[in-house]
Chain A
């Protein structure tokens, strides 16, 4: 049996491989095509029901140098789209036969148009998820959108995503979601057993693997982590917020933990856990996916939820995870994360939850300032939280 650290090391290798070796291997072995998707959430089940591998594209992180990507965006745009363009133009995404651009922000929406111009021979689709959660309006719209997506994908693979195939994909992803929930629950209960830097790569590796293969890895990691014998430390328990799209470098997550923070929940690689509950495996699977999005979609700044009290979800999450503070860790120039942040901070202050904030970009290499900030934040929680 492999140790948790060994499993995480394999996952880290997959995550840091910007050449998508796993995807190439899978293509060669199965003969299947592959479709990429950007953050946050894409209905991967539809891609897989159409007989293809769905691949999450989260940028090249600190593994690539951006040369051509910068020419496409102004200086006040975040790093992710530059990085994705760089990967595309340098052939690192050649393993993908198409790309899905989910609704998250203007930049990603516009990137879908740029992709059509840059790669006219690839399948490109902008996924407009419902912003109106009334079933008769947004629900039916989304079902229509999903079916349209299915038809488009069938045109790429030659495989029609039938209801049965879609139900099968839903069942596999339900199992994967259950395992990821178990991983997050274990980390919240015993964060010393599941360092976030490990949990992160274990979750993110799933963006390059067939879902069954990933579920097997998560299951193995869970078992190994439970018996890892790692000693618990007296650290503060924090929730990490704002990293749902462009991902922080691994070094940043390690820095936070070394600075004395146990991350007991986060929105890293949020697409993998976007649906917080199972998707119905009976009945019309297209409707089931749409209903799951409306009923179980994550609360995040790029998803409009009518009547939502800003910050309420975050405060509930802190209570559920017994978190003592919130670390706002957002990419520079991320409009959705940074526009919502003041509202969330106001709500946290009203609820007497401590918070701190900093920004990063996926290729940030210096963590000293973040170490200081996180360290003093953790000390402040542990030493002064009750008598300020």
Chain B
């Protein structure tokens, strides 16, 4: 079997603000990838370098592979902490590819992370064609949800299911996290239920995300990715915001259980594409430090 018809094993490491996601893939010569393992860990107060390395080791163990079996490790996000990377891809590039893997035919990705959200428009090859990004403050982000959960005395994992039980959601400020937090404190003192407060927050965030999708001019199927794609309360609120938005004709948002891994998946899959490109050009030896002549 010659090199160009051989499967390639690649790894993707997505270093986010609050957690690190790792995926290992086997990719065939047509670019079709098979997910071998996936690992996510919160960074908490640890050194992200060590967390990245630890997550990668766990992913290799799950895939029953050794480090030497992985031909290309690609980072995304804060990739400079991944000291064992071979290449790095920008977050939008990887989330687009990850979204296309999770939902073939998708025309966009809505990456909602700990610090910001990005609406990404792409073509059928997962090539990024345009994007819009939140530019104000943290009110549309995962970090904000985490803060609110702490004030309300619930865990982050409880936020989504609780939000789904709301009966009379209370709207909060959609512009500023500080104002929204003040709103929440007022609601608590007014006796508003935790579920209704959380749903109100989700609706406020969903309205902003719907606007983001409009400004990125995305139509068709959009995959929710990033850490907050696991928040069922938020994903439901986004679906409802899109459904009630008369200007969002033909737009559909979808979720996937593995959507938080979209960045890591995209990194691994693009890593395979890059590996093949370098191989085809005969440039792979140049990436081996011992081969570099100076």
Contact = CB atoms under 8 A, between A and B. Distances in A.
Contacts of A376: 90, 92-93, 128
A235 interface: yes
A356 to B, nearest CB: 13
B154 interface: no
Interface string B70-98: 00100000011000011111111100000
Interface stretch (B32-40, B61-69, B235-243, B285-293): B285-293
B137 interface: no
B185 interface: no
A233 B72 CA distance: 10
Given A189-B294, A226-B294, A235 B92 contact: no
A118 B17 CA distance: 50
Contacts of B133: 372
Contacts, number: 68
Contact of A232 (B72, B270, B292): B292
Contacts of A378: 90
Contacts of A382: 87, 274, 277
A382 B274 CA distance: 7
Interface residues of B, number: 27
Interface string A243-277: 00000000000000011100000000000000000
A381 B293 CA distance: 25
Contacts of B287: 232-234
B273 interface: yes
A193 interface: yes
B126 to A, nearest CB: 9
Highest count of chain A CB atoms <10 Å: which of B80, B89, B91, B274: B89
A384 interface: yes
B49 interface: no
Interface string A173-186: 00000000000001
A351 interface: no
A14 B88 CA distance: 32
Contacts of B270: 379, 383
B252 interface: no
A229 B294 CA distance: 12
Contacts of B168: none
The residue among A189, A226, A230, A260 with the most chain B CB atoms within 10 A of its own CB is A260
B240 to A, nearest CB: 30
A260 B88 contact: yes
Nearest to B133: A372
B171 interface: no
A383 B289 contact: no
Contacts of B91: 375
A238 to B, nearest CB: 14
A250 to B, nearest CB: 15
Contacts of B277: 382
A378 B80 CA distance: 15
Interface string A218-242: 0000000010011111110000000
Interface of B: 72, 79-80, 85-93, 127-128, 133, 270, 273-274, 277-278, 286-289, 292-294
Interface of A: 186, 189-190, 192-193, 226, 229-235, 258-260, 372, 375-376, 378-379, 382-384
Given A192-B292, A375-B89, A375-B92, 20 more contacts: A186-B294, A189-B294, A190-B292, A192-B289, A193-B292, A231-B289, A232-B289, A233-B287, A234-B72, A234-B86, A234-B287, A258-B80, A372-B90, A372-B92, A372-B133, A376-B128, A382-B277, A383-B93, A383-B274, A384-B127
Listed from nearest, the 9 A-B pairs whose CB atoms lie closest are A375-B90, A234-B87, A379-B93, A226-B294, A260-B88, A190-B294, A258-B80, A190-B292, A379-B90
